[in-house]
Amino acid sequence: MVKVIICGAGQVGFSIARYLSTHDNDVTVIDQSEELINHISGTLDVRGMVGFASHPDLLARAGLGETDMIIAVTFADEVNMVACQIAHSLFNVPLKIARVRNKSYLNPEWADLYKPDHMAIDLIISPELEVARAIGRGLDFPGTFEVIPFAEKLIQLVGIRCKAKAPILNTPLRLIESLFPELDLSVLFIVRGDSGFVPTGSDQLQEGDEVYLLIPQAKLIHAIEAFGFSEQKSQRLLILGGGNVGFCLAEEVEAQHPEISLMLIEQNKERATFVANQLTRTVVLRGDALDREILREANAKITSKVVAVTSDDKVNILASLLAKRMGADQAMALINSSSYSSIVSSLGIDSVISPKALTVSSILQYVRRGLIRTVHSLKENFGEVIEAEAVGTSNVLGMTVGEINMPRSMLIGAIIRDDQPIIPREDTVIRVHDRVILMVTSGAVKRFEKLFSVRLEYI
């Protein structure tokens, strides 16, 4: 059992606490809001403490001296950094993670600040940078709302929404290989409405489904076409909102996608001026993202992708819908509140960006250990996509995929063998040192650990 202190009981802190506590870890959460602490203590099997996370006496009472890991995700960068410094200097905590938003702290010029003999933070998480990178990964692949590399990018976990006229719809999954021989993919998980499930061979994809696939890098374009999207890459990008997220995204696109024409709309005059002066080839317009005239001036009707990343969820939803109605090919909306996530797809928005989910996955990816190579947490606590190595003690060695007694809530999606990705069939045999990528829902974790003789442990 790992002992963890989480500083901050907001959405990110709650999500991390929920995940770690359900995996038999000893979790304490600190927040200055009594309301948030009462909520998290009453909902999860964690210990809650009210107070300032940067106060040494409170951290001592929380048991920081016997803690394996501190994760500081309060709303204040400075509190997160000081909490990690105290954990290092006074309590010798092995692993220290801080969420940091201000770009000044993230400047590579000051990277020495976080070295062991200075502030000693092991991992700096920036939600803005995580969002920018996630959106950037999807720009080359139309229709995707998530693109996560596995096995050194040999295979990709792709989230994509089913369009009305997608050729792959209404086809039992077990027949996809024969009906679409050019495809080489595995359907890991389907989100339909407010619920998600691990599919069987008899399940069929429906319009509006959010589908998580494993696809070899070389076959991505074929898969996108099968889901009804053109292989044409984004050529024009419109960013709505010039705050930290919008600014980071513009910087990411300028650096990594020189072929994309980029425009940005920001309402605040001072912020618009600052962003315009910092960026080199982005056209910055000052105005309201909900103003038709501004969207018209930004050529929304001929834009490949509109990304709404203001600080207001409602503005992001409405602005995305307005841009789509004016003719934009695709619209993405940044949504912080999970209460909106289930309705936006039915409104016509192509994909949702969740800073909370991206931040949680980044933290969990860093703190996992042992024979677990990669862990990516799917949104709304549906489960994890795990890359694990089959070792000599694994119970699955020498068995075919069809012979393994797996629960309904677990599915093997791909195997990496000798640096080659394999989409497994029923007769595929698991060999020693295979890297197996599989979907595991929360209820199937114990079964997964037993089959592969590993523990989903941390630090």
pLDDT score, position 177:
82
Q: Sort strands 155-161 and 210-216 into parallel, antiparallel or unpaired.
A: antiparallel
Amino acid identity, position 11: Q
Of 107, 100, 72, 139, the residue nearest 353 (C-alpha): 139
Q: How many helices (H) and strands (E) does the chain have?
A: 15, 22
Q: Which residue has the tokens 């103003």?
A: 291
Tokens of 177: 């290989």
C-beta of residue 263 within 8 angstroms of C-beta of residue 283: yes
Phi and psi angles of residue 253, each rounded to the nearest 5 degrees, phi first: -70, -40
Report pTM. Answer: 0.82
Per-residue pLDDT of the chain (459 residues; tens, 9 = 90+): 789 999 999 988 998 898 888 877 899 999 999 999 999 999 999 999 999 999 999 999 999 999 999 999 999 999 999 999 999 999 999 999 999 988 888 877 877 888 777 888 999 988 888 888 888 888 877 778 888 889 888 999 998 888 877 888 989 999 988 888 788 899 999 988 778 899 999 999 998 888 999 999 888 888 888 887 765 666 899 999 999 899 999 999 999 989 999 999 999 999 999 999 999 999 999 999 999 999 999 999 999 889 999 999 999 999 999 999 999 988 889 988 777 766 776 677 878 888 888 888 788 777 765 567 788 888 767 888 999 888 888 889 999 999 999 899 999 999 999 999 999 999 999 999 999 999 999 788 888 888 887 766 655
Tokens of 139: 């720009």
Burial grade of 31 (CB within 10 A; 0-12, 13-18, 19 or more): buried
Q: Which residue has the tokens 């889901």?
A: 227
Amino acid identity, position 122: D
C-beta of residue 27 within 8 angstroms of C-beta of residue 4: yes
Cα(9)–Cα(15) distance, integer angstroms: 9
**Helix, strand or coil for residue 361?**
helix
Which stretches does DSSP call E strand in 139-281? 144-150, 155-161, 186-192, 195-197, 210-216, 236-240, 261-266
pLDDT score, position 380:
64
Strand partners, 95: 69
pLDDT score, position 89:
92
Phi and psi angles of residue 97, each rounded to the nearest 5 degrees, phi first: -125, 135
Tokens of 60: 């001592």
Q: Positive or negative, the Cα torsion across 36, 37, 39, 45?
A: positive
Q: Sort strands 69-72 and 3-7 into parallel, antiparallel or unpaired.
A: parallel
C-beta of residue 377 within 8 angstroms of C-beta of residue 139: no
Q: Which residue has the tokens 């969002």?
A: 131
pLDDT score, position 129:
87
Cα(114)–Cα(135) distance, integer angstroms: 27
pLDDT score, position 368:
65
Of 372, 452, 365, the residue nearest 410 (C-alpha): 452
| Intra-chain end-to-end CA distance of the chain, in Å | 11
Cα(382)–Cα(310) distance, integer angstroms: 27
Q: Where are the alpha helices (DSSP H) in 66-188?
A: 77-89, 103-106, 127-138, 176-179
Cα(134)–Cα(223) distance, integer angstroms: 19
Q: Sort strands 261-266 and 236-240 into parallel, antiparallel or unpaired.
A: parallel
pLDDT score, position 457:
62
pLDDT score, position 135:
87
Query: Which residues, in sequence order, are CB contacts of 102 under 8 Å at separation 6+?
Result: 77
pLDDT score, position 439:
95
Strand partners, 422: 415
Of 119, 11, 18, 7, the residue nearest 382 (C-alpha): 18
